[in-house]
Structure 1
Amino acid sequence: MNTRTDRRIRIGAGIIAALLALGFLLGGILVLLVATDQAPDVVALLGDPYVRSILGFTLTQAGLSTLFSVILAIPLALALHRARFPGKRPILRLFLLPQALPVLVGALAVITIWGRNGIVSDALAFLGLPRLEVYGLSGILIAHVFFNMPLAARLFVAALDRIPAERWKLSGQLALPPLTVLATVEWPALRTALPGAAALVFMLCVTSFTIVLVLGGGPAATTLEVAVYQALRYDFDPGRAIGLSAIQIVLTALVLLSTFLLGRDPAGGFGTGAAARRFDAQSPVRAGFDGLVVLCGTLFVASPFAAILVSGLAADLYRLAGDAAVLEAALTSLCVAGAAASLSVVLSALVLMAIEALRFGDRKGPVRRSLRIGLETATSLVLVVSPVIVGAGWFLLLRNVTDVLAAAPYVVVATNAVMAMPFIVRIVGPALSEASDETGRLAESLGLAGLARLAFVDWPAMRRPLALAFAFALALSFGDLGAIALFGSNDFVTLPYLLLQRMGSYRSADAAGLALILALITIVLMGFVERGFAGRREAGT
């Protein structure tokens, strides 16, 4: 096989993978339209005062969540990048966990810390101040900042890591003061990542489901995503659900389009936390301020994990661990997560290798450029589609073909796999792109193709980030509640769904214990899988 044939195979496989993902998403919506024969009346929905209030609250909470997450992430990212202490890498690892933590568990932890009977409220009451009210907009904002501020901080740290070493050397040789370094070196890098990070956080907050479902506190704090779920689960009004979803898709697509027009990747790159070598002068005052910022940020992110641990240990963990329902739900979650993560990694890797093949094609023209942009866009468009709508469409189709209960796990696996793709692409993509820039031309000149190129060029570059990506996708799927909330039943129960059931029956002690079990399994899975893929030596660095 020559390099040209290899490149064509990669491009074709990537296009097929992207079409499968988009076909699953768009096909679910189309199936729902055809199966129910109910076209959405978007104009009528926009004329409904209640829908307008939902739209207004969706925009308000997403805008404020994005603003607070980004504003807090910028000084935290700067402080982390400047910091020179051994614990920097574990902190960056900690900042990855909120996105992988089951959202339901995170919401319970936020209630434990910030709720009316939480730790912060107790401290305020001790000082004679009023207690906090976590249900409603305030609780949603706190939870969104907890989940998205560390994500934005990692994106900004990755942007700072991409600053050429020559700039740091020059700033050190010129002995530039800290403010000058910020203005001439750090801020330009942050500014390039700012639109993409803000757009990603905004889209995640617009499509937020579990947080709003748990912390919304009533109709006044309902988002479009929750309204879609209510229209399908309780009213079974597919026309209204699709109409609300269409409004949400247009809304998030406009944000995505504006990001592309700005010339920025809407999801950026996560990076793996590699230490960057800086040569700028140290300042004791700045070092002290940076240390305080890192400490506050770490405490904010770590406190919910501590709350999960404390409240979970107070439950009867021994009884829960031996409960047949818990064991069966855990096994179901592991099977679903493993299948979804494997499928997602395969599809994402095919798309990424196609993108790199298009970048280094021997005939770079408008068609190849359009294909590359199309593949890059396809992995981001996943973020604008409601998984509830997608799952409902395929569920209705499979109901006419096979046993509906037997089809539910396949729908959940496929939905979780596609929804994890944007994150996998953003974890693995930068490493593969860097490897292609460094060795791509040499590999083509040597005639490396097929399995030889994969073994000597692609796999060494992807191995470590792919381990992180697989672990991340596994954790996302293991703790997902979006798809299972619609299709869960007595015969198909995952741990998050069982936790939701125990919360609904006011068994708070069991819920706390299950939250701890769910969080521990998630963290262990991430560490075990990443170490197994990346190797003991690499995972421990």
Structure 2
Amino acid sequence: MTTAAGALSLGGILLFVGLAAIALLAQSRGGNAGPLFDAYLWRVTRFTLLQASLSTLISILFAIPVARALARQASFPGRIWVLRLMALPLGLPALVAALGLIEVWGRQGLLNTALAAAGLAQPISVYGLFGILTAHVFFNMPLAARLMLAGIERIPAEYWRTSANLGMGPLATFRFIEWPAIRGLLPGIAGLIFMLCATSFTLVLTLGGGPAASTIEVAIYQALRFDFDPPRAIALSGLQVALTGALLILLKFVAPPPEEGETTGRAIRRFDGASGLSRLFDRIWLALAIAFVGVPLAAIAYSGAKADLLRLVREPAFHHALAMSTMIALLSATVSVVMTALMIRAERLALAPRRPRTEARLFAGAIDASTSFILLVPPVVLGAGWFLLLRPLGDVARFAPAVVIAINALMALPFVYRVLAPAMATHAVRTERLAASLGIGGFHRLRWIDWPALRRPLLMAFSFAMALSLGDLGAVALFGSEEMVTLPFLLYSRMASYRTADAAGLALMLGLVCLILTVLGTAGEEKPSEGRSA
């Protein structure tokens, strides 16, 4: 039953994407497409690979010490709010975050103002490669740190007790205990961040500063929006999939999957972060992370607080947009989490035999590949394809909510998979045999074994998916109408009409909604060791 549900979910993903691509190709029959591979495209491809590689590298190098500091210092005051701060950028619309970064790094921003006061003649420019890298690290470093932290916290308590008995120092502890757990997660994290950066659109368009800093995603948008050249857009999407897909395949062979250790379930207690030097370094890294992420968010809050918030809250347009955004986010997050959990379980069942058949290995590989592949398909391509499919049926606005929910659910799937897959794998290793020997299955296993252990990752994945849907603008911008207005779409329309004060206020309220989601998604993380005692 689970395998059939996982196969149905996989088939639904392939069908949804395939129909959109077919619709675009059918629309382009008889078109006179220009040359695909020209000098501009090669320059765009090189820049795409360069900025995505640098963004991934910087994000991971920054995230490792931050995740270790959060794991080692598990009881300092305000730790839960640091975790929530790390989750907040994921739910912010890219345009809102870009405005916050400009407030800090822009020509008239806080940093350049301080540099000018110090007498420096050449202030930092937020536009170009530097601005793109800064924005990508702002979004992806917190995501990588949270995923690494979840992996470190799954290390059995016996490892830490043994390391303390052996007198292992910080370097030995990192090398033999923490690094194996992080190394197994790096291919998935690096692949996810690389795809996010390679397919970045709004940030590149806002902070790129001109044609010299364009990506393949921008070229796809131009091919559809300005030239309406579907063959070129499909070919560019294929090129994007090929480049990033080749990298994902390479990453699969770079590091082995994490090895899950047996444990008696004792409460975790770490002994390696108590020294004065360890605390000093951990505080430095946490302070850098808090400042890097928190200052742009504070700038958004400061600008938004100057708006007439009471008037905005009373507007019927705000009520309608909030209700629409909440409905879409709840449904898309539910679909994404349920589909992902079913596919992960089906993948594990397919590989459960000691020597799985070739068909089972192909099925499991297709599930794993689909969770990454969907991120490579630009939402504008999916939206344009389904717009063409639904147009013969009448008013496309009638189908807009369902299409937007489906697109948002698919776009959140890679994030949900990265959160649930390691947690479900660890849980299966520790409980599968015992549950089978006791004959526990079905609803009783879900209630008494699976839910208590997987509640936290499920809540985190659900909050991630909701935050992503709340911040989406791409799909809604294509299908938006007077009846279907979301908070990001309302924010964008106020910015387009130069009502910047209202836009800042809406950005603040959208950030507060995302903060509420992160609070719900991080519930129970105040004391990471609780719930693991025997």
Task: State TM-score, norm by structure 1.
Answer: 0.88
- The equivalent of 1:271 in structure 2 is none
Q: Does 1:120 align with 2:111?
A: yes
Q: Which residue of 2 aligns with 1:444?
A: 436
Distance between the aligned counterparts of 1:215 and 1:178, measured in 2? 40
Q: Distance in 2 between matches of 1:535 and 1:151?
A: 16
User: Which amino acid in the other structure matches residue 91 of structure 1?
Assistant: V
Query: Contact between 1:175 and 1:280, CA under 8 Å: does it hold in 2?
Result: no
Q: For residues 207 and 408 of structure 1, do their structure 2 counterparts lie closer, same or farther at Cα, with a shift above 3 Å needed?
A: same
Structure 2 portions without partners, runs of 5+: 261-265
Q: Tell me which residue corresponds to 1:176.
A: 168
Distance 1:502 1:413, change over 3 A: same
**Aligned twin of 2:52:** 62
Per the TM alignment, residue 285 of structure 1 is displaced from its structure 2 partner at its CA by 2.2
Contact 1:66 1:201 in 2 (8 A): yes
* Contact 2:423-2:457 at 8 Å conserved across structures: yes
C-alpha distance after superposition, 1:234-270 (max 9, x if no partner): 322212211221111111111111122335569x9xx
Q: Could you tell me which amino acid in structure 1 is paired with residue 332 of structure 2?
A: A
In 2, the alpha carbon distance for the partners of 1:260 and 1:431 equals 19
2:518 and 2:32 map into 1 onto residues whose CA distance is 41
Instruction: State the shift of 1:462 in Å.
Output: 3.0
* 2:142 corresponds to which of 144, 150, 161: 150
Q: Which residue of 2 aligns with 1:280?
A: 272
Q: Structure 1 CA distance, aligned partners of 2:525 and 2:339?
A: 23
Aligned to 2:240: 248
Verify: 1:194 aligned to 2:192, yes or no.
no
Judging changes above 3 Å, is the alpha-carbon distance between structure 1 residues 80 and 451 closer, same or farther for their aligned structure 2 residues? closer
1:451 shift after superposition:
3.0
What is aligned with 1:336?
328
SS in 1 for 2:126: coil
| 1:98 is aligned to 2:75 | no
Gaps of 5+ in 1: 1-8, 269-273
Distance across 1 between alignment mates of 2:277 and 2:527: 36
**Displacement of 1:441:** 2.2
Q: Quick check: 1:85 aligned with 2:75?
A: yes
CA separation of 1:507 and 1:136: change in aligned 2, threshold 3 A: farther
Is 1:461–2:453 an aligned residue pair? Answer: yes
Spell out, residue by residue over 1:143-175, the C-alpha distance to the aligned partner (whole angstroms, 9 max, x if none): 111001111222332333344444433332232
More displaced stretch, 240-249 vs 85-94: 85-94
Instruction: Give the Cα–Cα distance (whole angstroms) in 2 for the partners of residues 313 and 297 of structure 1.
Output: 24
2:464 to 469, 472, 492: 472
1:225–1:386 contact (8 Å) kept in structure 2 = yes
Distance change in 2, residues 1:493/1:198 (3 Å): same
TM-score (norm 2): 0.89
Per-residue Cα deviation, 1:390-442 (whole angstroms, up to 9, x for no partner)? 12111110111231222222221111011111212222233332332222223
Helix, strand or coil at the partner of 2:228: coil
Task: Judge which range, 400-409 or 522-531, deviates more.
Answer: 522-531
Partner of 2:263: none
Distance 2:239 2:25 in 1: 15
1:421-470 deviation digits (Å, cap 9, x = unpaired)? 12122222333323322222233334334333333333333333222222
Q: Do residues 403 (structure 1) and 399 (structure 2) align? A: no
Tell me the residue number matched to 2:39. Answer: 49
Measured at CA, do residues 178 and 363 of structure 1 come closer, stay the same or move farther in structure 2, by a change above 3 Å?
closer
Contact 1:140 1:211 in 2 (8 A): yes
Task: Say whether residues 1:318 and 2:291 are aligned partners.
Answer: no
1:500-515 to structure 2, matched below 5 A, reads 500-515=492-507
1:292, 1:522 → 2: CA distance? Answer: 27
The structure 2 residue matched to 1:185, chosen from 177, 180, 184, is 177
Q: Distance in 1 between matches of 2:459 and 2:378?
A: 27
More off after superposition, 10-19 vs 344-353? 344-353
Please identify runs of 4+ aligned residues in structure 1 that moved more than 6 A.
38-42, 534-538
Other-structure match for 1:4: none
Q: 1:462 to 1:163 in 2, by over 3 A?
A: closer
In structure 2, do the counterparts of structure 1 residues 40 and 367 end up closer, same or farther at CA, with 3 Å as the change threshold?
A: farther
Instruction: Choose from 213, 216, 233 the match for 1:221.
Output: 213
Q: Partner amino acid for 1:442?
A: L
Distance 1:173 1:353 in 2: 38
Selected match of 1:35 from 19, 27, 32: 27
8 Å Cα contact 1:31-1:397 kept in structure 2: yes
Over the aligned positions, Cα root-mean-square deviation in angstroms equals: 2.9
Q: Is the 8 A contact 1:28 1:392 kept in 2?
A: yes
Matched, 1:258 2:214: no
Q: Give the counterpart letter for 1:178 in structure 2.
A: P
Give, in whole Å, the separation in 2 of the partners of 1:304 and 1:198. Answer: 24
Q: Is the 8 A contact 2:22 2:385 kept in 1?
A: yes
Q: Specify whether residues 187 and 39 from structure 1 end up closer, same or farther in structure 2 by C-alpha distance, changes over 3 A only.
A: farther
Q: Deviations over 1:167-197 (max 9, x none)?
A: 4333322323333333443334433333332
TM-superposed deviation, 1:365: 3.6
Alignment of 1:226-237 (within 5 A): 226-237=218-229
Q: CA deviation at 1:362?
A: 8.7
Q: What is the alpha-carbon distance in structure 2 between the residues aligned to residue 407 and residue 227 of structure 1?
A: 28
SS in 2 for 1:426: helix
Aligned length: 522
Q: Give, in whole Å, the separation in 1 of the partners of 2:525 and 2:173.
A: 37
Paired residues for 1:383-394 under 5 Å: 383-394=375-386
CA displacement 1:317-344 (0-9 Å, x = unmatched)? 1222222323222222222212211221
